[in-house]
Structure formats: structure tokens, C-alpha cells
Structure 1
Amino acid sequence: MLDLAGGTTVYLACGATDLRKSYHGLAAIIKLKFKLDPYSRCMFAFCNRRRTSIKILQWDGSGFWILMKRLDRDSFHWPETPDELQKVTLKEMHWLCDGLSLTPKGAFEERHPKIVV
């Protein structure tokens, strides 16, 4: 089953990707271009050139899942650095899918309070 737990590692393929690619094409990009294992339990997210579609690939142990979102108007605030892989949290991935940037204004910064003994 698709793992949407908070501890899931999410990687963004920055820049544009040809989203006509399916399972094998996206897995090849992960393995050959980014030197990562597409069969790990990580999520790998890709965006098209116009920034109107996102595809997410994840292996669940028995097969690949592909999630896709296409916008009717506007565009995603996708990182533009080509040929770069960026590690983000699942929360940040939700922000991108909701039309926000990776650092939305007004969002609380995640932190861990110091324990005073």
C-alpha cells in the first residue's frame, strides 16, 4: 500500500521531467541520473516543463504506485534547478501540491523545544 506516513522520505526531481514516462522510465531516471534505488520505500516526485502536472512514484514492496495531479490553471511552485534532487518532508510535498512554495509565508517553522532539566 502507498506509504503516506510522516517519516516517508520524499525526493523532488528539480527542474522539468517528461511526464509521458511511466513506471520504468521514471525508475530509470532515479537509478541512472540520481544514483538512488527506485525500489526503496521513498517517494520520488517529478514535474513537467509548464509546472502544471506532478507525478509521484513509490515502490510498496510488490509494485509501483504512481500518483498524478494536473492543474487546470496556475502552476506549481516547483524548484527550478535542473538535474538536482532535493530531499523534502511529506509536509512540504503537501504544500507544493496545494499550490504553496516550499517555504510558505506565515507557516510555522518546525522546531524541537529544548528540554530543561
Structure 2
Amino acid sequence: MVDLHLAAAHIFLACGHTDMRKSIDGLSVRVTQQFRMDPYQSALFLFCGRRRDQIKALLWQEDGFVLLYKRLENGRFPWPNTPADVREITPQQYRWLMEGLALEQPHAVHKIPPKICL
């Protein structure tokens, strides 16, 4: 999938499964009604099908929505299964997800905020 996360300030993952027959209008209604969020904000919204082999991405740009679709030919996305939740993920987690890796990598080096010396 294209690196759309570079064009968005936030990346949100719609946990659970989404009906992949939904188009831009259906997905933006889900963002508005179920998650109480603005689909027109600078955010990439990710949705996954029941079989976890398909992802749709919704992104508002200045003149309209971009809708991308990715279907794996072999394998499944490691998708969270809590249907009512939306979860913000980092650009690194987005890359892991697109590579078929879990959102939480137990052996990844985690960033630590700088210590303030007085």
C-alpha cells in the first residue's frame, strides 16, 4: 500500500471487521457515527475485512477522498478484534502492518523521551 501515512497527521485503525462492500460514503459514515470522529481531518483511516486479507484506506485530501484497497493473495493481516474500538497507530506500526507484522513488536527498540538534566 502506498505510504499515505506521510500525507496524514494521524493514522487510525478501525478494530474488528468492516464490510468491504462499503465505499467512501459508507466508510466515512462509520468514522462519523461509530467513532465520533471527523473523516475530513488530516487522518488516514484503515479498515479490514472479516477474513483479514483485505484492507481499505480512506484519506481526505483538499479536493476529495482517496480510497485505496489492498488484498493479500496469501496470508492475513494481524488485525485487532475489538469491533467497537478505533485505535491510533504510529507510522512505524503502519509499516509493520503493511508488511504483515504485528502492531506490537516485542523485540523492537522503543523510543524513550529525552531526560531533562538540571
Q: TM-score, normalised by structure 2?
A: 0.89
* Structure 1: tracts of 5 or more residues without a match: none
> 1:34 aligned to 2:53?
no
The runs of at least 4 aligned residues of structure 1 exceeding 6 Å deviation read: none
Q: Which residue of 1 aligns with 2:81?
A: 80
> 1:102 aligned to 2:103?
yes
Return the offset for 1:36.
0.6
The count of residues paired between Structure 1 and Structure 2 equals 116
Question: What's the C-alpha RMSD, in Å, of the aligned pairs?
Answer: 1.8
Return the offset for 1:58.
0.5
Contact 1:6 1:90 (C-alpha < 8 Å) held by counterparts: no
Contact 2:14 2:47 (C-alpha < 8 Å) held by counterparts: yes
Return the offset for 1:37.
0.6
Q: Which residue of 2 aligns with 1:113?
A: 114
The 3-state SS of whatever aligns with 1:27 is helix
Contact 2:16 2:79 (C-alpha < 8 Å) held by counterparts: yes
Q: Name the CA distance, whole Å, in 2 between partners of 1:101 and 1:13.
A: 15
Q: Which residue of 1 aligns with 2:63?
A: 62
Identity rate, percent: 40
The 3-state SS of whatever aligns with 2:38 is coil
Cα deviation, 1:59-86, whole Å, max 9, x if unaligned, reads 0111001122111111000001111111
